[in-house]
Amino acid sequence: MLETNFCGIKLKSPLVLASGILGTSPELMQRIANSGAGAVTTKSIGPIEREGWKNPTVIELEHGLLNAVGLPSPGYNNMEEEFSELNKIKVPWIASVYGSSIEEYVKVAEYVSKKNPSMIELNISCPNSKAHGQIFGINPEIAKEITQKTKQACGKIPIMPKLTPQATDICEIAMACEEGGANAICAINTVQGMAIDIEMRKPVLSNKMGGLSGPAIKPIAIRCVYQIFEKVKIPILGMGGITRGEDAIEMIMAGATAVGVGSAVYYNGIDCFKKINSEMENWMKKNKVKNLEEIKGAAHK
């Protein structure tokens, strides 16, 4: 009932673990797969070893999480054990990569493409470090060039740029990526936000600003996916605030083929995939929907 074909990759469920939620640990990824995720995404892998920001890096707000983890990474050429373990997981894995220049994106993506991921996600949208992506994801020419060059370097592996809702026109970026040869679009990354501790009179996060995720951003994510669906032909991995089966159905009706789940793992634990899958199935049975293709983009008709 939930089987999905995303870019030629067969998924037993449309639910995909979003990047950054459980690092690159293969054991945790396997637990996520056992819980019912159709695929898992690694934390974004970068060109050099990076520690990330000091604590606090993640805080829970009323309707979402605010994080400035700062893209900590062991560095792409320091992960042989993780790569070989990731290939033992029973579901497809997606390698998320970032760089601070077009050349770095290409270098990391080319290297990682040889480690057998099912797909490469280009994180051109992280709000936590200007030098690591955000600037690329708001410029259509740069987004197109990164896509084109990584595509050339990675052979047959599908390439999926991940977009920021903070672009003036997200459709312009999605179309530029499609022109550059992208096989899919991932939308959305977090939305830049801030919280201030009024007793301390100081920003709460050590990095001052961070990325907002979780239920607070769901309407923004739905809007972005809806708009992108009208402008590109390639499939969309829609994410942002998905915590229930009904949210996933809404995302698919906006036009997503697969649905990312991130903050829900913080709120509800690793088993949230099982719960969201069964809520989707219940909704489908009640509404006599046999497969997800039937309702993809339904809100556009």
Interacting residues with ligand FMN (CB under 6 A): 18-21, 43-44, 58, 65, 67, 69, 71, 96, 123, 126, 162, 189-190, 213-214, 217, 239-242, 260-264
**Cβ at position 246, least distance to ligand FMN in Å:** 15
Q: Cα-flanking dihedrals φ and ψ of residue 195, to 5°?
A: -135, 140
Q: Which is nearer to ligand FMN, 148 or 243 (CB)?
A: 243
Q: 9 or 22: whose CB is closer to ligand FMN?
A: 22
3-state secondary structure of 98: coil
Shortest distance in whole angstroms from residue 285 CB to ligand FMN = 25
- Comparing CB distances to ligand FMN, the nearer of 77 and 289 is 77
> In the bound complex, which residue of the shown chain has the CB atom lying closest to ligand FMN?
20
Minimum gap (Å) between residue 149 Cβ and ligand FMN: 19
Q: Which is nearer to ligand FMN, 140 or 214 (CB)?
A: 214
Q: What is the DSSP string of 10-48?
A: EESSSEEEPTTSSTT-HHHHHHHHHTT-SEEEPPPB-SS
H or E segment and range at residue 109: helix 102-113
Nearer to ligand FMN, 61 or 196 (CB): 61
Closest by CA position to 110, among listed 42, 102, 13: 102
- Minimum CB separation of residue 271 from ligand FMN in Å reads 16
d(CA 279, CA 1) in angstroms, rounded, equals: 12
DSSP lists the bridge partners of residue 187 as 163, 238
Task: Using the minimum distance from each CB to ligand FMN, give the nearer residue, 126 or 174.
Answer: 126
Closest to 249 measured CA to CA, from 288, 283, 214: 283
Q: What's the half-sphere exposure (Cβ side, CA atoms, 13 Å) at 82?
A: 22
Q: How far is the CB of 202 from ligand FMN (least distance, A)?
A: 21
Give the closest residue to 37 by CA, choosing from 20, 14, 59, 54: 14
The residues that are catalytic are 126
Residue 152 Cβ, how far from ligand FMN at the closest point, in Å?
A: 22
Do 244 and 2 contact (CB within 8 A), yes or no?
no
Residues paired with residue 122 on neighbouring β-strands, in sequence order: 97, 161
For the chain, the distance separating the N- and C-terminal CA atoms, rounded to the nearest angstrom, is 23
Q: Which residues pair with 97 in a beta bridge?
A: 45, 122
3-state secondary structure of 284: helix
| Mode of pairing for the β-strands spanning 209-213 and 191-194 | antiparallel
